């Protein structure tokens, strides 16, 4: 009998951590967030002049690859003094013991927060009543107000980010705000937008996304769609903009539930919408239904850029431009993991999936995680190790039930692959996910396929027809132990945590430095995860 059967199995740390996650620190603007990152050594001031044409993008990308501090560009070629840019605002951090510090601080958590804490904080807020935004008379975003001929988007440090990009992308980490004609639903979301000239932009208005759905209502009335692009907002907002809340749900109300208090918004100058009061830059205007402009291509979250000269997208006509004194434009350099598409889109999607699977459908779910290193292509679902006692299903039936929930909802639109495994592994640890996937999924009967499911058209493995019609085949990989195995027959793990008696583990940890090793993770007493 192996050592695991002599010693009790223990779940990974993400199920063991305790604490009240309902009281979060509300960082009220981008500048306060920068101060918080600076306090942990995660901001790099760059006072040397850099060019918006590719150099900002390349520095930002290099900082992501090295997990270096986020670059704050204080002098930009051809841009008036005081106008700045912040690169990699929510990428992974290289600060010891704080790989998700930028995510955690953005959400109001401790910078050392574990991935499971982040998911639970986001998911738990979904069970609380919303708190609508609070309207205030004015705010920092009104310090400079430009209308009519004074509008000039080219004053802003919008960069050409990647070498093959089709233009200067101004909105990569900002919020687009639209509202239904009857005012019943206000949507805040993230979508890319490119500068075309002094008063026009263009960007994605995808029919099966919420912006596209609301835009269609205005188009049916024969009216251009009012919109706002809010750039450099409170750090929590982009994460909620990337969260697949259900159709009709207001992101502003959810943010209030998450923080336990409302965020402040102000009335726009030229459209009947409200915008976060502390935003660095606000661009108001209308989405045209009869004018298009060439947009793209653009380096995307999968780490690739499609060849070609871009394609026509709706014109976005700007009617007002307001900004703070010395405004800061956030910039992300999309590409291979881990950057903001993966943290700001992937983790909120995992949280919403956790909420739906566990709270709305009652499945025995322990945790849900987006494997950030998979570029948002793997949603990983951990089920309770003794799930057989909770639901009358086989492993394949449980996998199909999970797939049915995820793929039939907005959550699953951009998720092509789900991995399901027991919670005896820490699914927030990519090493353990790869190990479990490789060793537990059967090549013969380990996949459950879902045909003709709604999809984004960005994954590079999609065929031309799948991209054109926004539908594709998706899969759930069954990484569960075989149904035929009794608990006593399941293989034992020979990890440090599971393969040795507790007294031996304690002795080794206690004497680690005496053996001549450096402290593990900066301390000799912290037990490593399995």
Q: Catalytic amino acids?
A: 300
Residues 6+ apart with CB under 8 A from 36: 27, 105
Is residue 69 classed as helix, strand or coil in its secondary structure?
Answer: coil
CA distance 141 to 274: 12
Q: Where do the H-state alpha helices sit in 152-235?
A: 210-220
The residue with tokens 């070629």 is 77
CA distance 174 to 405: 29
Q: Is 355 within 8 Å of 123 (Cβ atoms)?
A: yes
CB count in 10 Å sphere of residue 154: 13
Strands (E) across 252-377 are located at: 264-267, 274-276, 281-295, 311-323, 328-331, 365-370
Is residue 497 classed as helix, strand or coil in its secondary structure?
Answer: helix
The residue with tokens 């409302």 is 262
Helix (H) or strand (E) holding 240: helix 236-241
For residues 188-223, b (16+ Cβ closer than 10 Å) or e, as one string? bbbbbbbbbeebbbbbbbbeebbbbbbbebbbeeee
CA distance 30 to 280: 8
The residue with tokens 């490593």 is 528
Q: Sign (positive/negative) of CA torsion 33, 39, 44, 46?
A: positive
Is residue 77 classed as helix, strand or coil in its secondary structure?
Answer: coil
CB count in 10 Å sphere of residue 283: 28
Backbone angles phi, psi at 251, to 5 degrees: -60, -35
Helix (H) or strand (E) holding 453: strand 447-454
Please, what is the end-to-end C-alpha distance for the chain in angstroms? Answer: 21
Q: Is 133 within 8 Å of 274 (Cβ atoms)?
A: yes
Sheet with 84-87: strands ordered across? 43-46, 70-73, 84-87, 328-331
- Looking at residue 395, the DSSP 8-state letter turns out to be H
Q: Is 476 within 8 Å of 400 (Cβ atoms)?
A: yes
CA distance 510 to 105: 32
């Amino acid at each position: 009998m192996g050592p695991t059967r002599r010693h009790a199995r223990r779940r990974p740390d993400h199920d063991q951590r305790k604490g009240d996650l309902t009281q979060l620190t509300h960082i009220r603007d981008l500048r306060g967030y920068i101060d918080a990152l600076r306090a942990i050594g995660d901001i790099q001031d760059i006072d040397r002049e850099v060019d918006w044409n590719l150099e900002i993008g390349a520095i930002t990308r290099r900082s992501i690859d090295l997990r270096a501090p986020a670059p704050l560009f204080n002098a930009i070629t051809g841009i008036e003094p005081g106008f700045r840019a912040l690169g990699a605002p929510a990428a992974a951090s290289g600060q010891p013991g704080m790989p998700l510090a930028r995510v955690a601080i953005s959400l109001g958590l401790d910078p050392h927060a574990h991935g499971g804490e982040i998911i639970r904080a986001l998911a738990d807020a979904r069970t609380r009543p919303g708190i609508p935004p609070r309207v205030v008379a004015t705010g920092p975003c009104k310090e400079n107000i430009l209308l009519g001929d004074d509008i000039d988007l080219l004053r802003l440090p919008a960069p050409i980010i990647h070498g093959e990009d089709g233009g200067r992308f101004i909105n990569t980490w900002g919020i687009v705000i639209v509202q239904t004609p009857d005012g019943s639903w206000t949507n805040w979301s993230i979508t890319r937008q490119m500068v075309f000239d002094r008063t026009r932009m263009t960007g994605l208005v995808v029919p099966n996304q919420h912006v596209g759905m609301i835009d269609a209502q205005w188009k049916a009335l024969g009216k251009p769609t009012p919109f706002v692009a809010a750039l450099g907002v409170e750090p929590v907002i982009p994460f909620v903009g990337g969260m697949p809340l259900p159709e009709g749900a207001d992101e502003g109300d959810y943010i209030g539930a998450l923080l336990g208090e409302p965020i402040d918004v102000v009335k726009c100058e030229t459209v009947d919408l409200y915008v976060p009061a502390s935003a660095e830059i606000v661009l108001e205007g209308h989405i045209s239904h009869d004018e298009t402009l060439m947009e793209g291509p653009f380096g995307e979250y999968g780490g690739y850029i499609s060849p070609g000269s871009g394609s026509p997208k709706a014109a976005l006509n700007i009617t007002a431009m307001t900004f703070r004194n010395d405004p800061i434009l956030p910039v992300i350099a999309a590409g291979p993991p881990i950057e903001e598409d993966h943290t700001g889109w992937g983790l909120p999607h995992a949280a919403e999936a956790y909420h739906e699977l566990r709270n709305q459908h009652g499945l025995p779910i322990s945790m849900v995680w987006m494997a950030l290193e998979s570029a948002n292509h793997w949603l990983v679902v951990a089920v309770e190790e003794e799930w057989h006692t909770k639901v009358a299903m086989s492993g394949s039936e449980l996998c199909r039930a999970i797939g049915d929930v995820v793929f039939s909802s907005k959550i699953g639109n951009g998720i092509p692959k789900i991995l399901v495994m027991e919670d005896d592994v820490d699914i927030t640890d990519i090493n353990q996910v790869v190990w479990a996937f490789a060793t537990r999924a059967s090549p013969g009967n380990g996949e459950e396929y879902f045909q003709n499911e709604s999809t984004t058209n960005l994954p590079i493995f999609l065929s031309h027809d799948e991209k054109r019609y926004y539908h594709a085949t998706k899969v759930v990989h069954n990484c569960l132990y075989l149904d035929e195995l009794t608990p006593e027959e399941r293989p034992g793990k020979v990890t440090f945590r599971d393969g040795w008696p507790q007294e031996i583990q304690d002795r080794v940890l206690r004497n680690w430095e005496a053996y001549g090793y450096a402290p593990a993770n900066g301390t000799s007493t912290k037990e490593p995860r399995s």
